[in-house]
Amino acid sequence: MPQPAERPARPTLADVAAASGVAISTVSRALTRPERVNATTRARIETAARELGYTANTSARALTSGQTRSVAVLVSDVTNPFYFGIIRGTQQELKSAGYTQLLVDTEESDELEDATLRRLRSSYDGVIIAASRLTDRRLSELAGRIPLVAINRQTRGVPSVFIDTPLGVGHAVEHLVSHGHRRIAYAAGPVTSWSNERRWRALRAGAERLGAEVIRVGPFSPRRIQGAAAADAVLNTGATACVAFNDLLAIGMLGRFAERGVRVPDDISVVGCDDIFGADFCNPPLTTITAPIEQAGRVAVSILMAQLDGSGAPVRSAATLPTHLTIRGSSGPAAVPPAVPPAGLTRG
Amino acid sequence: MPQPAERPARPTLADVAAASGVAISTVSRALTRPERVNATTRARIETAARELGYTANTSARALTSGQTRSVAVLVSDVTNPFYFGIIRGTQQELKSAGYTQLLVDTEESDELEDATLRRLRSSYDGVIIAASRLTDRRLSELAGRIPLVAINRQTRGVPSVFIDTPLGVGHAVEHLVSHGHRRIAYAAGPVTSWSNERRWRALRAGAERLGAEVIRVGPFSPRRIQGAAAADAVLNTGATACVAFNDLLAIGMLGRFAERGVRVPDDISVVGCDDIFGADFCNPPLTTITAPIEQAGRVAVSILMAQLDGSGAPVRSAATLPTHLTIRGSSGPAAVPPAVPPAGLTRG
DNA sequence: CGAGAAGCGGCAATCGTTTGCCATTTGTTG
DNA sequence: CAACAAATGGCAAACGATTGCCGCTTCTCG
């Protein structure tokens, strides 16, 4: 019985070799290390390859070379617009480096993060983790074993890109205090978030420096829906201004304040973090700490590439990206003027 | 010279086999077809595998089995929040099906779309294309060769998920006309967009049915920044209401109108399409055609899975997802009352 | 107690590519 | 013209898993 005439399979190196009358190995070299093969032979091979529509099988290639030319990008919640920015940045940069992006949502779970990384181990050459929930120990152990870059997570020995939101928080405090706010609430994010702690500390430090009071409420899950609870909690503190863990929460708060008839910024000022899509056109437009989110994704990729291409020498790079306060309509003078006029402004 | 003692490599089937005293093939079977191997042997193997931390090498597995257990998701612009919804949906569903998502941005280019699909051919089992820019011919040819599902693109023989925005456009027209609008502008999207044409036709048909006039302006690239140009163009038409190709454009228009002192909806009503993140909290909140975006992603995956798991029988499914008009603050009564009172409301 | 069947596990080929090593050809130089 | 080097291309062994086929055990039943 003759074998079926159909040949739905994709052409392999063997096909190209047969078509151009050389050995498989020669074709392989012609395609991957052009200088190793004679120009005329190479031309013949390239023509044959093109005519056959040959493309290398990535699995087979990965098997021998150990290189997959793809990078896993872990985000803790694809739902969060902040990560869209990261994804955009990594996507752009990975593509231009000829890599493929494996996008994974870890759902804020350290276990899932760990399990995914293990399960896909042979599918990627390196990893970019945004807002990891892993312990320092585990993260640095991981970084020792596989090329990895963390975004917004500084851990000893782990290459990272840090968006310096605490810096912006400092500016936010100055902005608020200069407007007469003396009591500032912080609507906290998840306890497992490293960034959350950093922002809170920056807020406290800034307030202390300028003689303002801070009250922390929360934690809240960084989602818009949680903004309602956060808004109510903030109202209870008697603060005239608040800083939210991130814009998502802040936008949610804005909605709740409107619902309750609390005027922003007349009754209360709201400051967010990140400057995500929407922060500029919500109502009122949100005063926030603008973070170079996309850039963070791009920088993360470039640090990763350095590790990958490099000769194995530990790169152990750590980039810090500055942020700035973007003042929009959601913040303004404090509702109730302070009992004592801000004479202390020229203290010294 | 003795070989270096270090053994950084991941454990393979051979390692597990050695550790549990059986052949490689037995280990493979124990792990993938548990019923083929004795319970006690299996237990021993599983223990060994666990202790060694064994995970299958995906490349090797893909090479023999021909299955990669990953799916390529192509979007034409990761920057567009509409696609975030798609990505979320596919991500969720793919993960629960045990697949990995390869995210690719095709940058609105048919060539890039084609090239990527070819280049990565051996890396995915199936493809989901959102808003393909390919020709019908090419797309259906592709669908004949590889498992594929198109989102918002109906082409003969290509399994697809269609978000029925035209249906919603019809409702939007009724809404506007009932508010006295007689002249409605359409801010068109890219000419290569299949959806754009469908929306325009629905708008024209609806207007004709209700005796209103429509004017098309554009095309505009579906980005916020283009909203300014679109707003200005709409103003020139003398229309009292407009429908935008999508929310991104509509939100951009809102900003421009505010800038020019044109009140929405007092001076002009604005209706968007898709109901993306932000449509509900922009200023004013946008009246828009709410699309089940995430669901579209999920349904696309499930159709793809049917093709993949199925016995090769062409599934050729086509799902249509209904939309609905969500009325918010950006639309209202026409600025200038119609010359003739809308007596025709009870026609027939 | 013997024969057939079922259960179980091993051998080895295979997937498509890469790459170290070697053989051949070609070119260079004294 | 001889001898050696460089350029070129082929052979074959990996990479790590899957799987068809076959043989050995065991078990069952007459």
**pTM as predicted:** 0.88
pLDDT score recorded for residue A102: 94
B-chain residues near A68 (CB < 8 A): 59
pLDDT score recorded for residue B334: 86
Judge whether A68-163+293-322 and A165-290+326-336 match in fold. Answer: yes
The CATH number corresponding to B166-291+326-346 among 1.10.10.350, 3.40.710.10, 3.40.50.2300, 3.40.50.1580 equals 3.40.50.2300
- Is residue A339 predicted with pLDDT exceeding 60? no
Which two three-digit tokens encode residue A277?
């899509």
Long-range contacts of B261-264 (CB under 8 A, 24+ apart): B262/B231, B262/B235, B264/B329, B264/B330
- Is residue B172 predicted with pLDDT exceeding 90? yes
Give pLDDT tens digits for B310-324.
655 566 689 999 999
Positions on chain D within 7 A of a protein C-beta = 7-12, 14-20
Q: Who contacts B341 (Cβ-Cβ below 8 Å, separation ≥6)?
A: none
Residue that the structure tokens 């290569």 belong to: B192
pLDDT score recorded for residue A131: 79
Amino acid at B146: I
Cβ-contact A150, A139 below 8 angstroms: yes
Q: Who contacts A122 (Cβ-Cβ below 8 Å, separation ≥6)?
A: A62, A68, B10, B55, B56, B57, B58, B59, B60
Rounded to whole angstroms, what are the CA distances from A211 to A183, A214, A272, B230, B256?
10, 10, 21, 49, 41
Which two three-digit tokens encode residue B59?
């490349």
pLDDT score recorded for residue B131: 79
- Chain A with chain B: Cβ pairs closer than 8 A: 122
State percent of chain B over pLDDT 90.
66
CA-CA-CA-CA torsion sign (B113, B116, B122, B123): negative
pLDDT score recorded for residue B82: 92
Which two three-digit tokens encode residue A111?
């276990």
Q: So what's the architecture of A13-56 in CATH?
A: Orthogonal Bundle (1.10)
List residues of chain B with CB under 8 Å from any CB of chain A.
8, 10, 53, 55-60, 62-63, 68, 70, 78-79, 81, 84, 87-88, 91-92, 95, 100-105, 118-123, 145, 251, 254-255, 277-278, 281-284
Residue that the structure tokens 């801010």 belong to: B187
Q: Nearest-CA neighbor of B99 among B334, B301, B314?
A: B301
Which residues sit opposite A187 in a β-bridge?
Answer: A217, A244
Give pLDDT tens digits for A47-99.
989 999 999 999 999 999 888 999 999 998 888 899 989 999 999 999 999 99
pLDDT score recorded for residue B233: 95
SS (H, E, C) chain B: CCCCCCCCCCCCHHHHHHHHCCCHHHHHHHHHCHHHCCHHHHHHHHHHHHHHCCCCCHHHHHHHHCCCCEEEEEECCCCCHHHHHHHHHHHHHHHHCCCEEEEEECCCCHHHHHHHHHHCHHHCCEEEEECCCCCHHHHHHHHHHCCEEEECCCCCCCCEEEEEHHHHHHHHHHHHHHCCCCEEEEECCCCCCHHHHHHHHHHHHHHHHHCCEEEEECCCCCCHHHHHHHHHHHHHHCCCEEEECCHHHHHHHHHHHHHHCCCCCCCCEEEEEECCCCCCCECCCCEEEECCHHHHHHHHHHHHHHHHHCCCCCCCCEEEEECEEECCCCCCCCCCCCCCCCHHHHCC
Nucleotide nearest residue A32, measured CA to C1': C18
Cβ-contact B244, B250 below 8 angstroms: yes
Cβ-contact B28, B16 below 8 angstroms: no
Q: Who contacts A137 (Cβ-Cβ below 8 Å, separation ≥6)?
A: none
pLDDT score recorded for residue B341: 46
| Cα(A317)–Cα(A227) distance, integer angstroms | 36
Q: Nearest-CA neighbor of B266 among B326, B333, B328, B212?
A: B333
B20 CB-to-strand C distance under 7 Å: no
A-chain residues near B92 (CB < 8 A): 105
A115 CB-to-strand C distance under 7 Å: no
Residue A6 — pLDDT band, cuts 50, 70, 90? very low
- Is residue B6 predicted with pLDDT exceeding 70? no
B315 CB-to-strand D distance under 7 Å: no
Give pLDDT tens digits for B68-107.
999 999 998 888 899 989 999 999 999 999 999 999 998 8
Give pLDDT tens digits for B136-164.
999 999 998 899 999 999 998 899 999 99
* CB-based contact B55 A95, cutoff 8 Å: no
Cβ-contact A215, A186 below 8 angstroms: yes
SS (H, E, C) chain A: CCCCCCCCCCCCHHHHHHHHCCCHHHHHHHHHCHHHCCHHHHHHHHHHHHHHCCCCCHHHHHHHHCCCCEEEEEECCCCCHHHHHHHHHHHHHHHHCCCEEEEEECCCCHHHHHHHHHHCHHHCCEEEEECCCCCHHHHHHHHHHCCEEEECCCCCCCCEEEEEHHHHHHHHHHHHHHCCCCEEEEECCCCCCHHHHHHHHHHHHHHHHHCCEEEEECCCCCCHHHHHHHHHHHHHHCCCEEEECCHHHHHHHHHHHHHHCCCCCCCCEEEEEECCCCCCCECCCCEEEECCHHHHHHHHHHHHHHHHHCCCCCCCCEEEEECEEECCCCCCCCCCCCCCCCHHHHCC
List residues of chain A with CB under 8 Å from any CB of chain B.
8, 10, 53, 55-60, 62-63, 68, 70, 78-79, 81, 84, 87-88, 91-92, 95, 100-105, 118-123, 145, 251, 254-255, 277-278, 281-284
pLDDT score recorded for residue A157: 87
User: How many CA atoms within 13 Å lie on the side-chain side of B76?
Assistant: 21
Rounded to whole angstroms, what are the CA distances from A122 to A29, A57, A60, B269?
24, 15, 12, 54
**In chain A, what is the straight-line distance between the N-terminal and C-terminal CA atoms, in Å?**
99
Q: Nearest-CA neighbor of B138 among B146, B199, B101, A7?
A: B146
| Cα(B262)–Cα(B248) distance, integer angstroms | 19
- Is residue A147 predicted with pLDDT exceeding 50? yes
Give pLDDT tens digits for A52-65.
999 999 999 999 98
Amino acid at A14: A
| Cα(A13)–Cα(A25) distance, integer angstroms | 8
Full strand arrangement of the beta sheet holding A269-274: A213-217, A183-187, A241-244, A269-274, A287-290, A324-326
- Give me the CA A28–C1' C27 separation in Å, rounded: 26
Q: Nearest-CA neighbor of A128 among A317, A301, A313?
A: A301
Nucleotide nearest residue B38, measured CA to C1': C8
Averaged pLDDT of chain A? 89
Instruction: Report the b/e string of A236-261 with b at 16+ CB within 10 A.
Output: ebebbbbbbbbbbbbbbbbbbbeeee
Option in A55, A118, A121 nearest B118 (CB): A55
pLDDT score recorded for residue B316: 67
* CB-based contact A122 B70, cutoff 8 Å: no
Which residues from the 56-85 window of protein chain B have CB within 7 angstroms of nucleic acid chain D? 56-57, 60-61, 63-65
* CB-based contact A118 B53, cutoff 8 Å: yes
Regarding predicted confidence, which is higher, B330 or B112? B330
Which residues from the 25-54 window of protein chain B have CB within 7 angstroms of nucleic acid chain D? 25, 28-29, 31-32, 54
Nucleotide nearest residue A27, measured CA to C1': D9
Which of A133-147, A211-225, B301-315 shows the lowest per-residue confidence on average (mean pLDDT)?
B301-315
Averaged pLDDT of chain B? 89
Give pLDDT tens digits for A246-263.
999 999 999 999 999 999
* CB-based contact A281 B277, cutoff 8 Å: no
Which two three-digit tokens encode residue B166?
């035209």
pLDDT score recorded for residue A196: 94
* CB-based contact A68 B81, cutoff 8 Å: no
B24 CB-to-strand C distance under 7 Å: yes
- Is residue A36 predicted with pLDDT exceeding 90? no
Average pLDDT over residues A294-302: 96
- Give me the CA B13–C1' C19 separation in Å, rounded: 24
Query: Phi and psi of B130, rounded to 5°?
Result: -95, 125
Q: Which CATH superfamily is domain A165-290+326-336 in?
A: Response regulator (3.40.50.2300)
Give pLDDT tens digits for A305-329.
998 876 555 666 899 999 999 999 9
Domain layout of chain B by residue ranges? 13-56, 69-163+293-322, 166-291+326-346
pLDDT score recorded for residue B309: 78
Regarding predicted confidence, which is higher, B277 or B35? B277
The CATH number corresponding to B69-163+293-322 among 3.40.50.2300, 3.40.1190.20, 3.10.450.350, 3.20.10.10 equals 3.40.50.2300
- Do you know the residue count of chain B? 348
Average pLDDT over residues A228-236: 95
B-chain residues near A283 (CB < 8 A): 281-284
A68-163+293-322: CATH topology: Rossmann fold (3.40.50)
Q: Nearest-CA neighbor of B169 among B205, B141, B135?
A: B205
Residue A269 — pLDDT band, cuts 50, 70, 90? very high
Q: Residue B68's closest chain A neighbor by CA?
A: A59
Q: Nearest-CA neighbor of B308 among B57, B97, B73?
A: B97
* CB-based contact A283 B278, cutoff 8 Å: no
Residue that the structure tokens 């280990």 belong to: B27
